[in-house]
Amino acid sequence: MPYLFTSEEYADMVFILGYCNGNARAAVVEYELRYPNRRIPDTKTISGTFRTLRETGSLPSTRTNYERAVQLDDDIVITAVHRSPGVSTRRISRRIGVSQSTVWRSLNRNKFYPFHKQKVQHLQPGDGPLRLEFCNFLNINNQLYKRILFTDEAQFTRDGVNNLHNEHSWAEENPHEVVEQNFQHRFSVNVWCGLLHNQLIGPFILPGCLNAEFYLHFLQEELPQLLENVPLHLRQNLYFQHDGAPPHFSRAVSAYLNHQFPGHWIGRGGPHPWPPRSPDLSPLDYCIWGWMKDIVYKTKVNSRDELIARIMDSAVQIQGSPEKLRNATKAIHKRAAKCIDNDGLIFEHLL
C-alpha cells in the first residue's frame, strides 16, 4: 500500500472503522466529518489499513514510499498554483485535502514565494510613443543623467504610507498591539526635492496649494539658493526636469525656463518633453520619496512641526549616502532600456 498518510491518520482510520462497526463506507463519511482538512481515504485504504494491522500487528509503514507521497503533494500543490497564481494557501489546502502547512512546505521546496502586487501608473493611449522618445533621448546621450536635475513634489501626511502587513511583533501570547489611524486632527506638508547625480537638493516646504504664481517665485528666488552648494560648472551645464503638473505648465514658467536653461530643460512644452504619467522614469519617485518616508514614519508623528523636522532630518541622512544616490540616478539607464524593450509601456515588473 503506497504511503499517503501519517501513523496518526492510519490509527484514526482503524478507530473510526471500529466505531462504524466495520462498515468501510460509513467510516469514510465519518472520517471526513471529523477531519475535513485532511486528505480523505477511500474504503480500500481504510479496509487495507485494518487488514495490515490484524495480519502484521502494526500499521502500514509510513517510510516505504515517503518520497513518492511528498512528490504527489508537490505535484498537486504546484498544479493548483499554476492554474490560479493568486490563490491562497488556505484555499489550496481545503481544495486538495491537505493541511495548510503541507501546502507551505511544498511551495517552499519548489522555490515558490508570495509576492505582493505592485501598483503602477496607468498609461493612456498615446503615452507609449512619448515615453519611447524620452528614453531614446537618454539612450543616445548616455552620460546626460549626471547633469539632469530631477525634481518632484510629494505630500507627507500625519500617518504617511503605512503598511500594516509589515507591522508585527513576536511574543508567546498575543500582546493585542494596535496601530492608531484615522486621527481627528489631520495635517500634511507639501515638499519639493531635487536630485542631481549624487546630490540631494532641498527639501523645500511648499504652500498647501501650489499654483503657477508661487512655483515661478520658487524657481526665481528659492531654487538658486538651494543650488548654491552645487559646483559652478555643474550649475552652468545642468538640465532642469519637472513633470507636467498644472503649476509647471504656464507661459510665465516656460518663458523663465527658456531664459534660464535655454535648450536645457525637460518638461511639458519644453525643448525636451517629459512623458506624461511616467513616475517610473523619475528617481525621485522610484527611490527618494520611499526612502525618505521610511525614515520619517519609523514612529508616530504627533504634529506638523515634528513632521517637518523629520523630513529635514531624513534629507540629512539621505545626503550622507552619495553612493546610493548615484546608483538611484544611474538606474534611469536600465529603466529607459526596459521601457524601450517594452515599446514604451509599463516595465517595472521586468526589472
Is residue 90 classed as helix, strand or coil in its secondary structure? Answer: helix
Which range has the worst mean pLDDT, 26-30, 36-40, 238-242? 36-40
User: Where residue 173 falls among pLDDT bands split at 50, 70, 90?
Assistant: very low
Kindly list the structural domains of the chain, giving each domain's residue range(s) and its CATH number in brackets, ordered by start: 7-109 (no CATH), 127-350 (3.30.420.10)
Residue 205 confidence (pLDDT) above 70: yes
Q: Are 31 and 40 in contact (CB under 8 A)?
A: yes
Looking at this protein, which amino acid is placed at residue 341? D
Rounded mean pLDDT of 119-123?
Answer: 67
Rounded mean pLDDT of 322-331?
Answer: 96
User: Where residue 4 falls among pLDDT bands split at 50, 70, 90?
Assistant: low
Distance in Å from the first CA to the final CA of the chain:
49
User: Where residue 121 falls among pLDDT bands split at 50, 70, 90?
Assistant: low
Length of the chain: 351
| Cα separation, 199 vs 320, whole angstroms | 9
Burial of 274 (0-12, 13-18, 19+ CB in 10 A): buried
Q: Which of 35-44, 122-131, 184-193, 221-230 has the highest mean pLDDT?
A: 221-230
Residue 248 confidence (pLDDT) above 70: yes
| Cα separation, 351 vs 341, whole angstroms | 12
Looking at this protein, which amino acid is placed at residue 279? P
Q: Give the per-residue pLDDT at 171.
A: 33
Q: Give the per-residue pLDDT at 79.
A: 77
| Cα separation, 109 vs 239, whole angstroms | 50
Q: Give the per-residue pLDDT at 75.
A: 75
Residue 158 confidence (pLDDT) above 90: no
Q: Which one has a higher pLDDT value, 39 or 2?
A: 39
